[in-house]
Amino acid sequence: MKYNPIQTYTWVPLTIQEEGENLINIVKAEGEFVTDSEGNTWIDSIASWWTMIFGHRHPALVAALKTQIEELDHIMLAGHIHPAAESLSKSLLELTNFDFHKVFYSDNGSNAVEIALKLAIQYYQNHPDLIPRSEFLVFSNSYHGDSIGAMNVSGKNYFNRIFSDLRFPTKEFPAPNCMNCPWGKVANSCSTECLDDLESEIKQKDYVGIVIEPLVFGANGMLFYDKKVLVKLRELATQTHTLLIFDEVFTGMGRLGEVFAYQKAETKPDLLVMAKGLTGGMLPLGATLVSEFIYKQFLSKDPYRAFFHAHTMTGNPLACSVGYASVKLLQETGLGQVKKLEETLQKRVEPFQKTLGKRIENVRVMGGIFAFEYKETIAEDEYLNPVGKQIREKMKEFRILLRPLGRTIYITPPYNIPEKSLDQIFLALEQTLLSFPESD
């Protein structure tokens, strides 16, 4: 059965209520597939918003969940600890080779970002030798979530413009974009000119932190940029005593071909935020990884220096045990699979470009991301560009679930997606796009 959103009891997010979109009623899932209530099977080409990196209901995650539910469902984490949280925390810190010292749990990416922001602000409050600060440096094409704080450090756009009066102060800079460098530079000639303005700003005024999605700005256009940018930001942050915060909600857990983007970029942040892939797409979970030097400023008997932040379901044992199983899978097979997926996607770039010619531009691959732009003559950019929805609707005819970001089309399949399903996705993309006009 297909539902119109205004006929459902549920308020479906990111849906224009009166537009009359048909909602697909999903009742089952396995691997890269989901099945609707009419028995049709679909390929979930974006891994349910980038979460189910090993496919839906992976047996190892299901087994972890079943084992855990037989033991302990939930216990509030204040005043308690449990083996599932401890196992996951230890494994996450091991994944970072102990670049970080503590793991603070929450239940989604936005909250994990909020926690990083609050920890950063309080770090300066607690530090006996540093002057408190309250402003963050942020980037135009960034997306860090929909809660007020996470929205505040995201780029200003149509998503959050209505709430601009609620903004705490941030200083926004154009997002680095190595696909179409505004300075006309390429890798060899680049001296991170895109950071010149930020450099002069950060040297004049005290900021709490720089908040950035490392190597890829995801939700705002799958923009790729070079690790040079992160190296330079690290240098500036260290020089000026500013904290560097990497939001790895999307890029973490292998999506870019390494466990973390910061490892790929060989640039360590002071706080690291993760969610999405960590959940394996099964239960809500977020984590904020904290460097030792930050944690030390909270080591005090003084209650005013303690970090007062908790969510009711923080560190839920079921979510943690699924998270732990995800980490183990990533280590055992996942990372190899995503590297292989990257090679496969790379091989598809040339024939794809050849078939679609001038209809598309900026075809790009990093790890398990394949993205490109539909070349549009209408200058309406961003998410609201209607072409994204038209392409999404057309893809439904091929039973492929896709969520373009305006004219940016991408797939982020599970790392273990079989070639056969990739073939289906690419065939559908080609046939869909061939039915759209070619630009001059």
The residue ranges that bind ligand PLP (CB under 6 A) are 108-110, 113, 143-145, 213, 218-219, 247, 249-250, 275
Give the residue with the Cβ less far from ligand PLP, 106 or 242: 106
**What's the token pair of residue 6?**
């205004």
Q: Where are the alpha helices (DSSP H) in 205-301?
A: 227-240, 261-264, 292-296
Residue where the block lists tokens 């540093």: 130
Residue list, annotated binding site for pyridoxal 5'-phosphate: 109-110, 247, 311-312
Q: Provide, rounded to whole angstroms, the least separation between the CB of residue 433 and ligand PLP.
A: 25
Residue list, annotated binding site: 49, 109-110, 143, 247, 276, 311-312, 403
- The amino acid at 17: Q
Q: Provide, rounded to whole angstroms, the least separation between the CB of residue 110 and ligand PLP.
A: 3
Give the residue with the Cβ less far from ligand PLP, 150 or 360: 150
Cα 60 to Cα 66: distance, rounded to the nearest angstrom: 10
Cα 38 to Cα 27: distance, rounded to the nearest angstrom: 9
Sign of torsion over alpha carbons 390, 393, 395, 397: negative
**What's the token pair of residue 285?**
């979970």
**What's the token pair of residue 34?**
């989901």
Nearest to 267 by CA among 251, 285, 244: 244
Q: Where are the alpha helices (DSSP H) in 153-298?
A: 196-204, 227-240, 261-264, 292-296
Cα dihedral value 82, 83, 84, 85, nearest 10: 60
161: left (phi over 0), alpha (psi -120 to 50) or beta: alpha
Cα 203 to Cα 240: distance, rounded to the nearest angstrom: 7
Nearest to 315 by CA among 269, 278, 261, 281: 278
192: left (phi over 0), alpha (psi -120 to 50) or beta: left
Q: Provide, rounded to whole angstroms, the least separation between the CB of residue 107 and ligand PLP.
A: 8
Give the residue with the Cβ less far from ligand PLP, 110 or 421: 110
Residue list, annotated binding site for substrate: 49, 143, 276, 403
Q: Provide, rounded to whole angstroms, the least separation between the CB of residue 150 and ligand PLP.
A: 6
- The amino acid at 379: A
Q: Provide, rounded to whole angstroms, the least separation between the CB of residue 424 and ligand PLP.
A: 25
Give the residue with the Cβ less far from ligand PLP, 132 or 174: 174
Give the residue with the Cβ less far from ligand PLP, 139 or 250: 250
Q: Provide, rounded to whole angstroms, the least separation between the CB of residue 265 and ligand PLP.
A: 15
- Tell me the residue nearest to ligand PLP as measured from the CB: 109
Give the residue with the Cβ less far from ligand PLP, 322 or 356: 322
Give the residue with the Cβ less far from ligand PLP, 14 or 379: 14
Q: Provide, rounded to whole angstroms, the least separation between the CB of residue 219 and ligand PLP.
A: 5
Q: What is the DSSP letter of 174?
A: P
Q: Provide, rounded to whole angstroms, the least separation between the CB of residue 319 and ligand PLP.
A: 12
Give the residue with the Cβ less far from ligand PLP, 279 or 421: 279
Give the residue with the Cβ less far from ligand PLP, 152 or 421: 152
Q: Provide, rounded to whole angstroms, the least separation between the CB of residue 386 and ligand PLP.
A: 22
* Residue 390: burial class (beta carbons within 10 Å; 0-12, 13-18, 19+): middle
The DSSP result for 15-71, as a single string, is --GGG-PPEE-EEEEEBTEEEETTS-EEEETTHHHHT-TT-BT-HHHHHHHHHHHTT
Q: What is the DSSP letter of 176?
A: P
Residue where the block lists tokens 């890829």: 216
Give the residue with the Cβ less far from ligand PLP, 123 or 250: 250
Q: Provide, rounded to whole angstroms, the least separation between the CB of residue 145 and ligand PLP.
A: 3
